[in-house]
Amino acid sequence: MSIDLVVPENVELTTLLDELRKLSWAAADVLMAYARGQEPPYGFPKSLTIEEGGDGPVSAADMAVNELLISGLKDNFTFQDWDILSEETTKEKTFHRTNYKKDWCWILDPLDGTKDFLQGSENYAVHIALAHKKKPKIGLVLIPERNELWVGIIGSGAWCENRNGFKKDISFSERLDISELVLVSSKNHQQSTLLNLLSTLSFSKTKRIGSVGCKVASILRGESDVYISLSGKTAPKDWDMAAPHALIEAAGGMFSHADGANLIYQKSDYSQSGCLIASHGKSHLNICKKAMKFFSKEEPKFKV
pLDDT tens across the length of the chain (304 residues): 344 478 888 888 999 999 999 999 999 999 999 999 899 999 998 887 777 655 556 788 999 999 999 999 988 887 667 888 987 777 654 445 556 668 899 999 999 998 889 888 999 999 999 999 999 999 999 999 999 999 999 999 999 999 999 999 999 999 999 999 999 998 765 678 988 999 999 999 999 998 999 999 999 999 999 999 998 778 899 999 999 999 999 999 999 999 999 999 988 888 999 999 999 999 999 999 999 999 999 999 999 9
**What is the average pLDDT value for the chain, to the nearest integer?**
90
Looking at CATH, the fold of the domain delimited by 3-169 is given as Fructose-1,6-Bisphosphatase; Chain A, domain 1 (3.30.540)
Q: Is 161 annotated as belonging to a binding site?
A: no
Note the pLDDT of residue 1: 38
Note the pLDDT of residue 5: 72
Start-end of CATH 3.40.190.80 domains in the chain: 178-298
Q: Which residues contact 231 (CB under 8 A, 6 or more apart)?
A: 271, 272, 273, 274, 275
Note the pLDDT of residue 91: 65
Q: Is 109 annotated as belonging to a binding site?
A: yes
Q: Is 238 annotated as belonging to a binding site?
A: no
Start-end of CATH 3.30.540.10 domains in the chain: 3-169
Note the pLDDT of residue 4: 45
Q: Is 112 annotated as belonging to a binding site?
A: yes
Note the pLDDT of residue 188: 61
Q: Looking at the domain covering 178-298, what would its CATH class be? A: alpha beta
Note the pLDDT of residue 55: 56
Q: Is 108 annotated as belonging to a binding site?
A: no
